[in-house]
Structure 1
Amino acid sequence: MTGTALLVMDVQEAIVARYPDPDYLPRLRGVIDTARGGGVPIIYVMVGFRPGAPEVSARNKVFGEAARRMVGQLNEIHPDVAPQPGDIVVTKRRVSAFTGSDLEVVLRSLEIDHVVLSGIATSGVVLSTLRQAADLDYRLTVLADCCLDNDPEVHRVLLEKVFPRQATVTTSDLFLKGAADSGGHG
């Protein structure tokens, strides 16, 4: 495997609305545009369920009853960062981008060995995906300012203490500078 892909995770309108940060979407849009312009595949990951959410057990504390209530509210990726022709959209059924999706098949098919993570929430999809991707031997980069969490302390601890054990943690500016310096390929 020889490539890099940008994962844009759980940036759906209903989720973005719960994490108010007016600078988030423009910053993420800049990363997406630069990556796309440099030939880096953009893979959008969204959470989704069938009508009635039959894939969610009532015993699941994260989704459980909330998933059944949210089925009608889960909607498309926020229009400010919407996929463009050629981008890939993957639907997951749990917190990790890998669980219940074909993400690993897509990454292998594209010969991706370096995954750049962004999304909402740091303590949810980003953490779960990072852990699973590390176990699958992907090289990992987390764009700290392209991740959001409702708990600033949890966000800080994950980015400063937990994630660096398995990933390079950087900012969008430094990532974009590196992409420019390497001709678009991180």
Structure 2
Amino acid sequence: MITTLDNNTALVLIDLQKGTLNAQLVHPAKGVLANAIKLIDAFRNEGLPVVIVHVNPLGAPWTKTRKQVSMIPADEEGQKAAEAKMQEDGFFTIVPEIVLQPGDLLVTKKTWNAFFETGLHDELQKRNVTGIVLGGVSTSVGVEGTARAASELGYNITLASDATTDRIASAYEHSVHTIFPRISEIDTTDAIIKMLAQRK
């Protein structure tokens, strides 16, 4: 449950792009996206930073390592073919419901963690941000990966539980009920928006 929000809190939304929201998700994408947009509007109304993160992992070193399950070809030729197909399908494109405005930050990440080699931490520090509200897809991958890094960097974290979802129900449940309580507070979009107006 949310207890407070820092005066300088940023909204960080992970991978709300066509490729992730078109996947088979545990919670309807429409509801998750509607809550994300409510958060965007609330943060903009408060004059607080809005960070939109999307992922393009192709070419990243981790995609070429050995693993039991791989969704991305490891060889260079396969990655080029995959990128062309993903570009054609609009995989990397932020969904049209989210319209970036001047002042918003757009971050492209290559890994699960939006802080890794992106400059996000530096941009937040320039704005004196000490807390972040997180949402997006997938809860157990990009959202949790970003939260773990944010925790290591000392940010106060709040997870908007109804503005995030996953492809796997058990993965979502494990993240929300086991991992996030150890590194963040967790509440609904409406509770976070209410607290946002009371933070001063």
> Which residue does 1:104 correspond to in 2?
121
> Which residue does 1:123 correspond to in 2?
140
> Which residue does 1:79 correspond to in 2?
96
> Which residue does 2:37 correspond to in 1?
29
Question: CA–CA distance in 2 between the matches of 1:17 and 1:131?
Answer: 26
Is 1:11 paired with 2:16?
yes
Question: CA–CA distance in 2 between the matches of 1:106 and 1:63?
Answer: 31
Kept in 2: contact 1:47–1:93 (CA 8 A): yes
Alignment TM-score, normalising by the size of structure 1: 0.87
Question: CA–CA distance in 2 between the matches of 1:55 and 1:46?
Answer: 14
Is 1:149 paired with 2:169?
no
> Which residue does 1:38 correspond to in 2?
46
Question: CA–CA distance in 2 between the matches of 1:121 and 1:178?
Answer: 25
Say what the alpha-carbon RMSD is for the aligned residues: 2.2
Shift of the 60–41 alpha-carbon distance from structure 1 to 2, 3 Å rule, reads farther
Kept in 1: contact 2:137–2:143 (CA 8 A): yes
The one of 174, 179, 187 equivalent to 1:170 is 187
**How far apart are 1:70 and its partner, in Å?**
4.3
Higher mean C-alpha deviation, range 33-42 or range 78-87: 78-87
Question: CA–CA distance in 2 between the matches of 1:33 and 1:92?
Answer: 24
Question: CA–CA distance in 2 between the matches of 1:70 and 1:38?
Answer: 40
Alignment TM-score, normalising by the size of structure 2: 0.81
Partner of 2:108: helix, strand, or coil? Answer: strand
Question: CA–CA distance in 2 between the matches of 1:13 and 1:122?
Answer: 16
Shift of the 164–70 alpha-carbon distance from structure 1 to 2, 3 Å rule, reads farther
Shift of the 95–70 alpha-carbon distance from structure 1 to 2, 3 Å rule, reads farther
**How far apart are 1:146 and its partner, in Å?**
0.7
Give percent identity, aligned residues only. Answer: 28
Kept in 1: contact 2:54–2:108 (CA 8 A): yes
Shift of the 63–97 alpha-carbon distance from structure 1 to 2, 3 Å rule, reads farther
Is 1:139 paired with 2:195?
no
